[in-house]
Amino acid sequence: MSGTVAFVLKGYPRLSEAFIAQEIRALEQHGLDIRIISLRYPTEEHTHPVHREVQAPVSYLPEYLYREPFRVWRAWRSAHARPGYRDALGTWLRDLLRNPTPNRVRRFGQAMVLARELPPEVGHLHAHFLHTPASVARYASLLTGLAWSCSAHARDIWTSPDWEKREKLANCRWAVTCTSVNLHHLRRLAPAADRVQLLYHGLDTDRFPPLPTVRPRRNGWAASDPVRILSVGRAVEKKGYRDLLDALAALPQDVHWHFVHVGGGPLLARLKARARALGIDAQVSWLGAQPHDAVLREYRQADLFVLACQIAKDGDRDGLPNVLMEAQSQGLACVATRVSAIPELIEDGVTGLLTAERDSVGLSQALQRLIVDPGARARLGQAGQRRVAEQFSFGAGVNRLASHFQLTLAGVRT
C-alpha cells in the first residue's frame, strides 16, 4: 500500500477551522501525501490564504443521501461485496439502536461512498473530530480494512456519549487531542493511556508576525478616542456573547469603549437585538466572518481582546480557542473565562485576566480594569506574547504529528 492519508473532515474549507488547513499544509511540507474528504460542501464566502496553499485534492461525499441516490446505491452494491461489510453493518446497527437519528444513517451511507470512491493510493484514514467524521472513518475502515486515527477537539468530545468515545478509541490506531482537560477525559475511556496523546495546535507565527508598532495608550477617558475591544468567534452559545454584551452595558458611563466582533453564526441576529435593547448598539461593530488578513488587521487595531466562553446547555464547550493565542501573538491583553483549557494558556494576572463563566459582573470589572490602565494591558500583553512563543509552538506539534503518520504508514507498507 501507498503512503497517502485521507483526511476526513466535516466541512472544507471553513474559516473557523483554519487550524486544520494549517496543519494539513505543514504536513504536506513534511512530505505527507494527503487527500481531503469532506462530508459537507463549503458555505462561506471567504477563505484564508492557507486554503489556497494546500495542495491536497478535495472530494465531497453526498451531504444528504437522498440527493444522490444512484451514487449511494452504487456504493451499497460495492460495499455489500466486501469482506468487511458484515462487520461494518453490525457495528453501525448497534450504534443506530443506541442513537436512532437520520445523522447516524447518513454516516453509514457516506462511509460506503467513501469506501467505494477512495483513491487506491490511500493507505490510512484520519478523522478530524471524534463525532461525525470519526464515525464515517470508522465505518469506512471496517469496510476497507484500512487503519484510522483521529484528532479530537472540543464539541466532538463533550457532546458525544461515553459509550461511543470508548468504542472509537478502542477501534482507532491512535488519537491526539489539543488540551490536557481533553486528554485526561479521553484517557479514562481509552483501552490504554498511550492510545491518546496531547498535541496543542500551537500558533504559526509566520502567519501572525508580531505587531510592528507600539499601541496607543488609550485609557477610556476620551469619548473621541475610545478603547477598542475585540472578540473573534462564532455567535453560538458556548462563546458567551450575551454575557459579554451585558458586561459591556454595565461599564460606567464615563468609561469610553468600542466593541468589535468578528465572526458569523446562528445567534448573530439575537445578539444585535440584545445590543439594541441594552442601548449600546452605537458602540458595537458587527463585522461578520472575515478572511485572515482582515482578522489580523483587527487584532492590530485593538487595545484589548475578550472571549467569554461558557459550557453550553448541551455540554458543548471550547477546548483551547486558537483566537486567544492569535490575540496574544499580537501583544494583546486578553480577558477570558475559566472554562476547559483556557487556564492552560492564560494565567490570571500574569498573562491575562480570567473570570468565572456566566459572570457578567466579574467580566465587566475585569474589562474596566484594563480599559483604564494601558500599562497593565501592555504588561499582560507582552507576557502572553512570550508564553505563546515559548510554550505553544506550532512547529513542534506538527513535527510530532508527522512522526505519528510516518510511523503508521511505515507499518502499513511493511
According to the model, what pLDDT value does residue 284 have? 98
Q: Is the pLDDT of residue 257 over 50?
A: yes
CA dihedral 232, 236, 237, 243 (to 10 degrees): 40
Angle at 360 between CA 256 and CA 251, to 5 degrees: 20
pLDDT, residue 412, reads 57
Tens of pLDDT along 172-200?
999 999 999 999 999 999 999 999 999 99
Q: Which residue has the cell 480570567?
A: 354
Residue 346 pLDDT exceeds 70? yes
Confidence of residue 414 (pLDDT cuts 50, 70, 90): very low
* Helical packing angle, 132-144 and 102-117, nearest 10°: 50
Position 413 pLDDT exceeds 60: no
pLDDT at residue 212 tops 90: no
Q: Is the pLDDT of residue 370 over 80?
A: yes
> Taking all residues of the chain, what is their mean pLDDT, rounded to a whole number?
95
Are 237 and 313 contacting, i.e. CB atoms less than 8 angstroms apart?
yes
pLDDT of 233 reads 97
Name the band, by pLDDT with cuts 50, 70 and 90, for residue 86: very high
Query: What is the DSSP track for 226-271?
Result: -EEEEEE--SSGGG-HHHHHHHHHTS-TTS-EEEEEE---TTHHHH
pLDDT tens, 230-249? 999 999 999 999 999 999 99
**pLDDT at residue 300 is higher than 80:** yes
Q: What pLDDT sits at residue 201? A: 86
Domain 4-202+393-413 class in CATH = alpha beta
Q: What is the pLDDT of residue 410?
A: 73
Label residue 372 by pLDDT band (50, 70, 90).
very high
- 393 pLDDT exceeds 90? no
Q: Looking at domain 227-391, which CATH architecture does it have?
A: 3-Layer(aba) Sandwich (3.40)
Lowest-pLDDT range of 39-48, 140-149, 380-389: 39-48
Average pLDDT over residues 97-118: 97
Per-residue CA distances from 221 to 54, 236, 323, 371 (Å):
46, 32, 28, 9
Q: What would the pLDDT profile of 278-290 be if each residue is shown by its tens digit? A: 999 999 999 999 9
Tell me what the mean pLDDT of segment 383-398 comes to: 90
pLDDT for 1 beyond 50: no
User: Residue 157 corresponds to which cell in the numbers above?
Assistant: 468530545
Do 320 and 341 form a contact (C-beta atoms < 8 A)? yes
- pTM for the predicted model, two decimal places: 0.87
* Confidence (pLDDT) at 409: 76
Give the three cell numbers for residue 99. 442513537
pLDDT in tens, 395-409: 888 988 998 888 777
Q: Do domains 4-202+393-413 and 227-391 have the same CATH topology?
A: yes
Cα(72)–Cα(114) distance, rounded to whole angstroms?
10
pLDDT at 183: 97
Listed by start position, the domains of the chain span 4-202+393-413, 227-391
Q: What is the pLDDT of residues 137-153, one digit of tens each?
A: 999 999 999 999 999 99
Distances (CA, A) of 246 to 200, 243, 279, 281, 395: 32, 5, 11, 12, 39
pLDDT at 371 over 90: yes
Average confidence (pLDDT) over 35-64: 95
